[in-house]
Amino acid sequence: NEPYEPRVSAAKIAPPLKVNATTDEPVTTGVRLK
């Protein structure tokens, strides 16, 4: 269960990050830059 919790948190941050990344660069690059 412990490893699962952090994963959920990351997934929650992913949606907002995706929007920002898409505006500037691809999702992969945006996530890495952030």
Instruction: Report which secondary-structure segment, H or E, holds 13.
Output: helix 4-24
Question: In whole angstroms, what is the distance from residue 29 CA to residue 6 CA?
Answer: 21
Nearest CA among 6, 32, 31 for reference residue 20: 31
- Residue 33 neighbours by CB under 8 Å, 6+ apart: 21, 24, 25
pTM score above 0.75: no
| pLDDT digits 0-9 by tens, 1-34 | 455 565 556 556 555 555 554 555 554 544 555 4
